[in-house]
Structure 1
C-alpha cells in the first residue's frame, strides 16, 4: 500500500521524519561494475520513501529503503523508468535496480513516479510515440537490456550534474568492490540520518548551501529549505574508500580530477534548486561513527545472504524431490511425458 506524509510524520530530537510512500514488498539489486557486470541482490521486503527535515536548520534529505537497506534520493540522483514496475538509480559509483511484484497496481507506480520526479532527476523512457515502456518487467534479460540502455544516458546526466560516472575512482585492483561501496552507502546514509534528526550531531558549521529555489517550489518543502546533494553521502563513502587505498598502497595514490567535470554554476543551473552538502568539518565530525556503522551493516547483509541462500537451497531441494517423485528428470523437464 502507498501512504502520504499527512498521517505519517514523526518528530525526533532535532528533526522530523515524514513517510511519503511505502509498499509491502519489492526487490533491490546492485548492477555491479565488476568484470562480469554481476547482478547482486541487496534487499527483499518493505519499500519506503521518507523525508527528513532539520528543526533548527533549513535543510532536508529524502531517503529510499528496502528491508533496511538505505540510499539517498536527491536532485542529483538519476532515476530511470524503462518498464512498468521497474526503476533504475544511478549514483556516483553505483547502479541500483528496483523492481515491484506483478500485483502492484499501476496507480501506485505512477504515484511513486511523481515522488521521483519531485525529489530526484527523473527520466521516463517509453516506446515509439510515447506508447508503453521500452522493456517488459517479466523479460528474463531485463537487467541486461536495461543496463545497455540506461547506463550510457545515466553517465551523461551524472557528468552534467558534476558527478564522476562509472565505477568509483577508488575501485582499483580488487580494492573497494561495488558491493562494499553499496554497503557503505547504506551505512553512511543511516549515520547522516541519525546525525540530522536524532542525535543532533549535524550543525550549521558542518555543511554548505549553494543555489536558490525556484519561486514555484513545493509549499510542503518550503521556499527556504535546501535539498541534499548526493555528495552529502558520497563524500563519506569516498573517505572510507580513500582510507582503504592509502592503507594498502601508500600515499603515492593520487586522485585525478575529471577534465569534463561541470562547474558549480552549471550544476546548480541544471538542478535548479538550492542544495546542501557536508564540508570538510562535517565529514571529519561523522568519520568516527562510520567504521562501526559499516561493520554493523556488513554483518546484517551477511545474515540476510545466509537466509537467502538457505531459502534457495530449500527451493531447489523441493524441485528435485518433486521431479524424482513424478519421474521427470532434469533433462526431461519442460518436455512432458508420453502417455
Structure 2
C-alpha cells in the first residue's frame, strides 16, 4: 500500500498509502438546498507526507487523480462507513469511498494513517451503523451528511461555519484548496518556503498512545492552507483562531491523557509570499 520516498533539494515526499479505484465526493455547502457532486474524481487515492529537511515542518496531503486536499491534526476525518470517510475543513466537506472490493486490512491501514495525522473519529466505534442506504448509493451521503455536520459543529465550535454562496462559489473554493495544497507542499520541499515564512505554536490534543512522528517534527495546521484560500477570496488577513489554540494548550484536562503537539502555519510574510505565487488564481 505504501510506495516510494522521493528526495527533493530541501526535503522528502513519501507515499504512505495508496489504493486504486476510489471515489471522491464533494459536498458543497451553502444556505438553502444541500448540494452534492457525486463523483468529483474517480481513480487512485494516495496519501503523501511532505517533510522539509531544515525546519522539520511537514504536511500530509490526499489526492484522487489530479485533485489534492490537506489533512492535519486540527482538521476532521470521520469514518462513517465500512469503506467511507468524510473530511471536514473550514467551509468544506469531502467524502471518500474506497472500492467495495477493498479488504479490511487495507482500510485498517488507512485508519492508522488518519489516527496519526488528523483529528480522527470512527462512527462505527460508537455503534452508528445501519444507515438506511448502501454506502455506494447517492442517497447515503445525503443521509450521513447531517451527522457529520453535527460532529463538526461540536468539535470545531466557533471556528466552524458553513460556506456561503452558490454551488459555483463552493466549487471555486474546492479548486483553490487543491491548487493551494499543491503550491504550499511543493514549496516546502523545493526550498521556496523559508523558515521566515512560518510560525509554529503548540496545542494540546488527546494522547492516542503517542501515535505521532518524532517530537522534532512540526505538523501543519489546516490554516496553512485555509488562510491562503480565504485570502484569495478577498479576505486579506490571517484567519482567527490561533489565540484560542494557545489558550487551550495551557488548559489542563484531567479527564483524558493529553500531549502537547507542535503545529505550523504561514505568518503574514509567508501568506504574502504564497499569494504572490498564486496570484493567477484570483481570476
Shorter-chain TM-score bucket reads 0.7 to 0.9
SS at match of 1:273: strand
* Distance in 1 separating the partners of 2:18 and 2:160: 29
More strand by share: 2
2:195 corresponds to: 204
TM-score by length of 2: 0.85
Q: Quick check: 1:278 aligned with 2:266?
A: yes
Q: Deviations over 1:238-286 (max 9, x none)?
A: 101126xx9xxxxxxx99979xx94532168788411000000000011
More helix by share: 1
Q: Which runs of 5+ in 2 are unaligned?
A: 252-257
Please list, as runs of the form range in 1=range in 2, the aligned pairs for 1:221-232 lying within 5 A after superposition.
221-232=213-224
2:36 corresponds to: 39
Note the C-alpha offset of 1:291.
3.1
Note the C-alpha offset of 1:132.
7.3
C-alpha contact (below 8 Å) 2:197/2:266 kept by paired residues: yes
Matching residue within 28, 53, 76 for 2:51: 53
Structure with larger Rg: 1
Aligned CA distance change for structure 1 residues 181 and 8 (closer, same or farther; 3 Å): same
Q: Which runs of 5+ in 1 are unaligned?
A: 247-253, 296-339
C-alpha contact (below 8 Å) 1:58/1:226 kept by paired residues: yes
C-alpha contact (below 8 Å) 1:211/1:268 kept by paired residues: no
* Distance in 2 separating the partners of 1:18 and 1:209: 23
Q: Deviations over 1:210-242 (max 9, x none)?
A: 1279797557x3211110000000000010112
Point out the more displaced range, 13-22 or 205-214: 205-214
Please list, as runs of the form range in 1=range in 2, the aligned pairs for 1:1-339 lying within 5 A after superposition.
2-3=1-2, 8-34=4-30, 35-40=32-37, 41-126=39-124, 133-135=129-131, 136-159=134-157, 164-168=159-163, 171-172=164-165, 174=166, 177-198=169-190, 200-211=191-202, 217=210, 221-242=213-234, 262-266=244-248, 272-292=260-280
Q: Which runs of 4+ in 1 moved over 2 A?
A: 130-136, 212-219, 254-258, 261-265, 267-272, 291-295
TM-score by length of 1: 0.72
SS at match of 1:116: helix
Higher relative contact order (CA 8 A, sep 6+): 2
